[in-house]
């Protein structure tokens, strides 16, 4: 051991230059864990992948962000992830984060995900701090939601909150659909472009789903991680990451934006708030949403903040957000039309006047015009079909929860169309069947899993009815396969839904009296391209 150094007990002298790097490495007696002050400087005008760097913009958990300009003057931002001056363990985590950033930001292609313009690894032995750093050149945003919330007045939604939430939801839904989990959704990672468009950024903890979950380093933001995050078991690959974590974070962000920055759980510190969330999740305290949270959004926030992650997984975020953003059911259709017009009109104005001035205080008023459709999965409901938009998400979710390939969204949609014509108020008192999926209430009760909302499930609720239908149809399909059927499963399942798997088995196929109904479903299925 080294002889004791008398200077160790003395507080650092601010006027003295810090000791040279050679002397301090590694200094075992001293906590090295003061936040490293920007481990390296990027000289102005430094060239990275053809972009020239400019002013220092800010610091994230793992990297520094600098302004940059493309050869044609395009404004950009460069995020530098540097392994310099990190311990081996940190370096490993950093490498993992850099890999994840490179991988996901390059593939992120959605109007509400930050686009990466170039990725490069700095090769400059002359600049030891920079050498080996990963540089990600991205679109430059005007500010983050964090900035907006910092300036917000509690008790009222921040301007444009609903639009921002709809856009974030679109970006997030896209990520989940292509099999990614963001893993660190929070206001600081949601950026607002100069025109006000919201984009999700920071894919350092993003991971790809392997089945129902992914693995990520055990890192998170205490105000936005779900309650189960704190007690998860850890393995060599890190902690399990699920889309339900992003859903929880979305609920917290929605509450923050719509109440002018209030967190849904009370407490003076992030620690206290996260413990309050855990008390709620254990059932020790009820959920108390702020009274200023607008009515239609209470449903969304409550669904996102469902204590059980399994139930949260079943939340159809897109459908809920669409419903809340469109207002109460009575004027939903009208509002939708008005909204469409508004968008079209804005687009026209934009075309006439060019880009609007950036909106200083608010979030900007312009929504992103057209969203390119996500790459359709096999069996997905075609965009132009007659399946009501409000139910598509629920149907997709219900079908996707079933591992059987026949149970595709289009099959459920075709069955629903034949059953009720998508009418949630459909009823046939003679046969005792009700709702969009024409459930016999007693049968429904057996197949309804815990709903994505408070209170009991109902066969009259389209979301519940369709979710339960997905469960039942999936089971029927498996039963029929078990009984040895291998062909025409969509037809057989349809027949079994009307009768039972036993009836179909006894008839050795579609019973004659059900044939017209089955033909109708198969016709609709063909219409949907299934």
Per CB under 8 A, 282 contacts other proteins = yes
How near is the Cβ of 79 to other proteins at its closest, in Å?
Answer: 12
Instruction: Copy the structure tokens of residue 84.
Output: 């310099």
Q: Which is nearer to other proteins, 60 or 194 (CB)?
A: 60
Cβ neighbourhood burial of 311 (10 Å; 0-12, 13-18, 19+): middle
Considering only residues 183 to 242 of the shown chain, the ones binding other proteins according to CB under 8 A are 184, 186-188, 217-225, 227, 229-236, 238-239
Q: Are 253 and 145 in contact (CB under 8 A)?
A: yes
How near is the Cβ of 512 to other proteins at its closest, in Å?
Answer: 54
What is the bridge-based pairing of β-strands 190-192 and 180-181? unpaired
378: left (phi over 0), alpha (psi -120 to 50) or beta: beta
Site string for other proteins, 359-398 (x = CB under 8 A): ----------------------------------------
Q: Which is nearer to other proteins, 91 or 337 (CB)?
A: 91
Q: Are 242 and 182 in contact (CB under 8 A)?
A: no
CA dihedral 487→493→499→504, nearest 10 degrees, is: 20
Q: How far apart are CA 461 and CA 446, in angstroms?
A: 16
Q: Which is nearer to other proteins, 230 or 422 (CB)?
A: 230
Q: Which is nearer to other proteins, 218 or 509 (CB)?
A: 218
Q: Closest Cα to residue 406, out of 499, 471, 474, 468?
A: 474
Q: Which is nearer to other proteins, 41 or 123 (CB)?
A: 41
Q: Are 203 and 102 in contact (CB under 8 A)?
A: no
| Exposure b/e, 98-137, CB count within 10 A at least 16 = b | bebbbbbbeebebbbbbbbbbbbebeeeebebbbbbbbbb
Q: How far apart are CA 173 and CA 264, in angstroms?
A: 22
Site string for other proteins, 38-77 (x = CB under 8 A): --------------------xxxx----------------
Q: Closest Cα to residue 530, out of 402, 376, 423?
A: 376
**Phi/psi of residue 198, each to 5°?**
-95, 135
Q: Which of 123, 154, 155, 271 binds other proteins (CB under 8 A)?
A: 271
Q: Which of 121, 156, 272, 389 binds other proteins (CB under 8 A)?
A: 272
Q: Which of 5, 12, 18, 29 binds other proteins (CB under 8 A)?
A: 29
**Phi/psi of residue 456, each to 5°?**
-75, 160
Considering only residues 71 to 100 of the shown chain, the ones binding other proteins according to CB under 8 A are 87-90, 92-93
Q: Which of 36, 155, 432, 441 binds other proteins (CB under 8 A)?
A: 36
Q: Which is nearer to other proteins, 98 or 465 (CB)?
A: 98
Per CB under 8 A, 6 contacts other proteins = no
Considering only residues 401 to 430 of the shown chain, the ones binding other proteins according to CB under 8 A are none
Per CB under 8 A, 358 contacts other proteins = no
Site residues (CB under 8 A) for other proteins? 1, 26-33, 35-36, 58-61, 87-90, 92-93, 144, 146, 150, 184, 186-188, 217-225, 227, 229-236, 238-239, 270-272, 275-276, 278-279, 282, 284-285
């Amino acid at each position: 051991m080294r002889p004791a150094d008398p200077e160790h007990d003395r507080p650092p002298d601010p006027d003295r230059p810090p000791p040279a790097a050679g002397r301090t490495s590694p200094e075992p007696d001293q906590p090295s864990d003061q936040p490293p002050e920007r481990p390296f400087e990027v000289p102005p005008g430094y060239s990275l992948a053809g972009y020239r760097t400019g002013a220092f913009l800010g610091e994230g958990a793992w990297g520094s962000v600098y302004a940059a300009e493309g050869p044609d003057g395009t404004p950009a931002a460069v995020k530098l992830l540097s392994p310099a001056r990190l311990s081996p363990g940190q370096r490993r985590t950093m490498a993992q984060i850099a890999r994840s950033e490179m991988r996901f930001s390059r593939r992120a292609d959605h109007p509400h995900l930050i686009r990466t313009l170039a990725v490069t690894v700095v090769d400059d032995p002359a600049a030891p701090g920079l050498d080996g750093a990963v540089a990600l050149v991205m679109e430059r945003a005007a500010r983050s939601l964090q900035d907006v919330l910092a300036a917000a007045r509690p008790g009222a939604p921040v301007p444009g909150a609903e639009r921002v939430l709809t856009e974030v939801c679109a970006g997030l839904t896209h990520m989940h659909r292509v099999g990614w989990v963001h893993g660190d959704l929070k206001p600081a990672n949601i950026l607002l472009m100069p025109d006000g468009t919201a984009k999700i950024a920071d894919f350092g903890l993003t991971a790809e789903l392997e089945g129902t979950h992914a693995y990520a380093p055990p890192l998170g933001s205490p105000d936005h991680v779900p309650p189960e995050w704190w007690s998860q078991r850890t393995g060599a690959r890190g902690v399990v990451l699920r889309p339900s974590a992003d859903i929880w974070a979305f609920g917290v962000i929605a509450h923050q934006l719509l109440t002018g920055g209030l967190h849904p759980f009370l407490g003076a510190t992030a620690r206290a708030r996260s413990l309050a969330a855990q008390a709620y999740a254990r059932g020790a305290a009820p959920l108390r949403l702020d009274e200023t949270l607008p009515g239609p959004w209470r449903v969304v926030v409550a669904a996102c903040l469902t204590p059980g992650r399994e139930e949260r997984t079943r939340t159809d975020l897109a459908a809920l957000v669409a419903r809340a953003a469109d207002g109460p059911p009575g004027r939903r259709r009208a509002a939708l039309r008005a909204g469409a017009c508004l968008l079209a009109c804005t687009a026209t104005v934009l075309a006439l006047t060019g880009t609007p001035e950036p909106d200083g205080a608010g979030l900007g008023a312009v929504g992103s015009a057209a969203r390119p459709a996500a790459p359709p999965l096999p069996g997905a409901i075609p965009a132009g079909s007659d399946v009501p938009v409000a139910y598509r998400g629920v149907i997709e979710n219900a079908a996707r929860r079933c591992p059987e390939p026949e149970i595709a969204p289009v099959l459920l949609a075709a069955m629903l169309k034949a059953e009720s014509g998508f009418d949630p108020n459909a009823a046939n008192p003679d046969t005792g069947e009700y709702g969009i999926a024409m459930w016999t209430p007693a049968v429904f009760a057996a197949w309804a899993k815990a709903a994505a909302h408070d209170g009991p499930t109902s066969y009259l609720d389209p979301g519940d009815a369709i979710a339960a239908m997905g469960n039942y149809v999936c089971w029927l399909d498996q039963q029929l396969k078990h009984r040895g059927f291998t062909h025409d499963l969509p037809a057989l399942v349809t027949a079994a839904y009307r009768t039972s798997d036993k009836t179909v088995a006894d008839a050795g196929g579609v019973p004659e009296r059900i044939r017209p109904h089955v033909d109708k479903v198969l016709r609709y299925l063909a219409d949907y391209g299934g």
